[in-house]
Amino acid sequence: MSPLGGDIAHLLAGSMVLVSFMLLYQDRMSALINVFALHAYVLACSVAWQAYLQGAPHLYITALIALLFKGVIIPGALRRIIVRLDIHRTIEQALSVGPTMLFGIALVGLSIMVMLPVTQSQGAFVREDLAFALSVVLLGFLMMVTRRNAVSQVIGFMSLENGLVLAATGARGMPLVVEITVGFSVLIAFIVIGIFLFRIRERFDTVDLQALDLSRGEST
């Protein structure tokens, strides 16, 4: 691996973290979806670059899947859902942007702390790439926790899954079958959640998940 090639892989993995932070920062639904698409593009670039570096053609397919499904189809579908359901354009946050960001930084620090000692034997970049992937996963989780709206929770889930793919491609040797399975499971999850959304909407006239808690008798 040439140093420049490693540098670029590293940069792309780091950009995933950066875009994850951008996801946390958004307060408009449409912008959130655009940034999520960007997340998928960066993932596709990163995976494709890994395919080139490792000389593993099957990774190109993973990249293509990421690009097609997460970069084009899912954002498009989400946009349609928003229009169809007439979802409010601003995102309600359970925790405001500043503390969320601080928490996010702490999560990145945590994932570095967890990853670095575990993977001492690997090269510096591999360790950091794994730390980045874990950060993306944790940040996706954080997004699901701190957002009230179901659509942004879906996006949080998808970005979490992007982190998993990033980890898998960095680790080398994950079979294509697993990749595709993961891709399809995500797609199915997406469809389920989509249907779910419509149902919530029919029932409660909102997609704010607090409405669900209310119906269970647990008001927050």
Partner 1 sequence: MIWFEGPGHLSRLAVYGVGLLLALAVLGFYSARRPLGCRLIYAGCTLTCAALAAVALLALLGGGGTHSVQLPIGLPQTRTLLGLDPLSAAFALIINLDAAIVSGFAIGYGSHAPEPRRVLPYYPAFIAAMNLVLLAQDAYAFLVGWELMSVTSWALVVSEHGSAENRRAAHIYLVMATGGAFALLLAFGLLAGPAGQYTFEAIRSATARGFGPIVLVLALIGAGSKAGLVPLHAWLPLAHPAAPSHVSALMSGLMTKVAIYAFIRLVFDLAGPPAWWWSVPVLVIAGITTLLGVLYALMEHDLKRLLAYHTVENIGIIFIGLGLALAFNADGLKVAAALALSAAIFHAFNHSLFKSLLFMGAGAVQGGSGERDMERLGGLIQRMPVTAIAFLTGCLAISALPPFNGFVSEWLTFQAILLSPQLPHWLPRLVIPAVGATLACAAALAAACFVKAFGMTFLGRPRSRAAETAGETDGWSRAAMLLLALLCLLAGILPGFVIDVLSPLTHLLVGARLAPQAAQPWLRIVPIDPARSAYDGALVFGMILVAAGATAFVVRRIAARALRRAAPWDCGFPDASPATQYTATSFAQPIRRVFGSVTFRARERIVMAAPGDSTASELRVELHDTVWEVFYAPVIRFVERSAERLNRLQSLTIRKYLTVVFVALIALLIIVGAWR
Partner 2 sequence: MRLGWLTQLTQAVLVLALAPLLSGVTRKIRARLLRRQGPPVLQPFRDLMKLIRKEAVVADNASWLFRAAPYLIFGTTWAAAALVPTFATGLPLSASADIIVIVALLGTARFLLALAGLDVGTSFGGIGSSREVLFASLAEPAMLMAVFTLSSFAGSTELSSISAYMQTAAVGINISLALALVALIIVSVAENGRIPVDNPATHLELTMVHEAMVLEYSGRHLAVIELAAALKLLLYLSLIACVFTPWGTAIAGAGLPHYAIGLAAYVVKLAALGFLLVLFETAIAKMRVFRVPEFLGIALMLGLLGTILLFVSKVPR
Select 147 or 201, whichever has its Cβ closest to partner 2.
Answer: 147
User: What angle separates helix 176-204 from helix 74-85, to the nearest 10 degrees?
Assistant: 0
**Minimum distance, C-beta of residue 105 to partner 1, in the bound complex (Å):** 8
Q: Does 101 bind partner 1 (CB under 8 A)?
A: no
The Cα 1–Cα 170 span in angstroms is 13
Chain position carrying tokens 């009230």:
148
Window 171-210: contact mask with partner 1 (x via CB under 8 A): ----------------------------------------
**Minimum distance, C-beta of residue 27 to partner 1, in the bound complex (Å):** 15
Q: Does 94 bind partner 2 (CB under 8 A)?
A: no
Binds partner 1 (CB under 8 A): choice among 38, 56, 112, 212:
112
Query: Which stretches of the chain are DSSP H helices?
Result: 3-25, 29-54, 57-65, 74-85, 97-118, 124-146, 150-171, 176-204, 210-216
User: Which two structure tokens, joined as six digits, stand for 196?
Assistant: 């779910």
Binds partner 1 (CB under 8 A): choice among 90, 96, 185, 215:
96
Q: How far from chain centre, in Å, is Cα 185?
A: 15
Q: Does 53 bind partner 2 (CB under 8 A)?
A: no
The Cα 8–Cα 59 span in angstroms is 17
Select 46 or 100, whichever has its Cβ closest to partner 1.
Answer: 100
The Cα 75–Cα 36 span in angstroms is 7
Binds partner 2 (CB under 8 A): choice among 1, 102, 176, 178:
102
Task: List all residues 6 or more positions away from 219 whose beta carbon is below 8 Å from its beta carbon.
Answer: 213
Q: Does 217 bind partner 1 (CB under 8 A)?
A: no
Chain position carrying tokens 């090269």:
123
The Cα 194–Cα 17 span in angstroms is 26
Select 74 or 131, whichever has its Cβ closest to partner 2.
Answer: 131
Q: Are 20 and 140 in contact (CB under 8 A)?
A: yes
Q: Does 94 bind partner 1 (CB under 8 A)?
A: no
Select 112 or 211, whichever has its Cβ closest to partner 1.
Answer: 112
Q: Does 13 bind partner 2 (CB under 8 A)?
A: yes
Interface residue list for partner 1 (CB under 8 A): 96, 98-99, 105, 109, 112-113, 116-117
